[in-house]
Structure formats: structure tokens, C-alpha cells
Structure 1
Amino acid sequence: MKANEHADIEVTWEDQKNINAFSKLNVKLEDEQERYSELKLELEYLEDLAMELELADEDDPINFKIADVFIELPLEEAQEKIQTEKERLEEEVEKIKSNLNQMEEQLAALKKVLYGKFKNAINLEKD
């Protein structure tokens, strides 16, 4: 397609709304992907910690951080708190994963519409 052929494509208000929606959704997707990675890493740390506590002596108190303060907890209570936090993180990871899938589906639908009209006159791919 020649450069002057791109000028012949009329951009309607609906097209502009779709382009804007694609852009906003793309930014939101990147933010959610970053959050997903952070939570997955945090979940891995908790799983490693839970395995380490399996080897701990039951009589030794465990230093447990709450906000900016460390408190001593019995081993069993520390394990319960870690398990509760792991479950919370797993739920949040699954929720974000579901949101990511929905956003990717929406982006694919918008790409189909926009490429259908603009063909190679528009670039919606990440660099």
C-alpha cells in the first residue's frame, strides 16, 4: 500500500473510540501482567517459607513480621498465618489471571475490527 493510499481511509468517531479503547486496555493489561508477576513471585516466597518452617523446631518461636514490627509466634500459629496468606494470594492470582484472559479477548476483538478496516495502515502490535 502506498503512502497516499493511507490518506484515503476515513477515521470515524466509532473508529477513534475503538482505537482509544484498545490503547487504554493495552496499558491496563501491561499493569495487570506486572501485578500478576509480582504476586506469583510473592506466592513462591511464601511456599518456600512454608517448606522451611516444616523443618523448624516446634519449641522455637518464629519471628513473624506484621507491617513494620516483628512478633514472636508459636510455630503452628505462624504456619497457619502463612497458609492463610497463601490462600489469599492464590485467589488474587486466579482473579488477575481471569481478568488478563478477558482483556486479551477484548484486545483480540478490537484488533480484528481495527485491522479489518485499516489493514496495515495501523500498527497495534507491541514493539
Structure 2
Amino acid sequence: MLQDEDSQADVEVTWQDQQNINSFAKMNNRMSDLEDEYEEKKKERDYLEDLEQELELADEDEPIRYKIGDSFIHMSLESAQERIVSDKDGIVGEIEIIKTEIDQLQTEMDALKKILYGRFGKSINLEK
């Protein structure tokens, strides 16, 4: 039993193994960035949904200050509501794209994990 563990510790790392490890590390970093971006977009979507509900209670006669970039512009209630729906739809689309990329990246990472764990066993740790 001890010889088996020693033989796994002495596995030679080939050039291809190193390339797989490097690819996995890059994918892992990209996954972390995508997860952060995904959470930010979800917060932004939630903010827009809350804003949409708040504007339902607003007075139609008063102009609405709508933030675009670093500045605010005045617009009618109807225009602001249309803009919020448009912005929210854009964010939902971005969330779906990010989620698709996360799923695809996870599939690729799982394939590399299988290869690397098959080659190195317990000698390598690929978990977060």
C-alpha cells in the first residue's frame, strides 16, 4: 500500500501534463472572474427591478432623474420606465451569456480534472 502512494508521488510531469495544468489554472481564474461578473449583473438586474416597482408609484407630472454613466438626465416617467425595461432586458441577456460561458467552462474544467486526477491521483489538488 505504501509503495502505491510512493509511485504516485514519483509520477513524472510531462510537457503535456504541464500544459493541461496551465490550461486548468487559466480556466479557473476565468471562472472566478465570470462568477464575480455574474453576481454584479444579478445585483444590477435586481436594482433595476426595484427601480421599476418604485416608478410605478411616481407622479406622472414630475420629471424623473435617470442616471446614465456618471450624469443624471431628466426624462418623463414613461420614458424612464421604457429605459428601465430596455436596460433590464440588456442585463438579462448579458446574464444569460455569462451563465452559458460559465457552464461551458465548467464542462472543459471537468474534462481536464478527469485527465489530471487520472494521471496524478491525490498528488494534485484541483478544487477551490
SS at match of 1:57: coil
Aligned position for 1:51: 53
TM-score (norm 1): 0.93
The 1-side partners of 2:10 and 2:71 are apart by: 65
- Tell me whether 20-29 or 1-10 shows the greater mean CA deviation: 1-10
Aligned position for 1:5: 7
**Counterpart selection for 2:76 from 62, 69, 74:** 74
The 2-side partners of 1:60 and 1:50 are apart by: 16
C-alpha displacement of 1:108: 0.5
The answer to whether the 8 Å contact 2:67/2:73 transfers is: yes
C-alpha displacement of 1:65: 1.4
The answer to whether the 8 Å contact 2:38/2:98 transfers is: yes
Aligned position for 2:64: 62
- Residue ranges of structure 2 left out of the alignment (5+ in a row): none
The 2-side partners of 1:73 and 1:98 are apart by: 35
Task: Tell me the amino acid that sits aligned with residue 16 of structure 1.
Answer: Q
The 2-side partners of 1:41 and 1:76 are apart by: 24
- Residue ranges of structure 1 left out of the alignment (5+ in a row): none
Deviations 1:92-114 (A, max 9, x none): 00000000000111110000000
The 2-side partners of 1:7 and 1:105 are apart by: 27
The 2-side partners of 1:36 and 1:100 are apart by: 9
TM-score (norm 2): 0.93
* Percent of aligned positions that are identical: 52
**Counterpart selection for 1:35 from 31, 37, 47:** 37
Matches within 5 A, 1:10-29: 10-29=12-31
Number of residue pairs matched by the alignment: 126
Superposition RMSD on alpha carbons, in Å?
A: 1.3
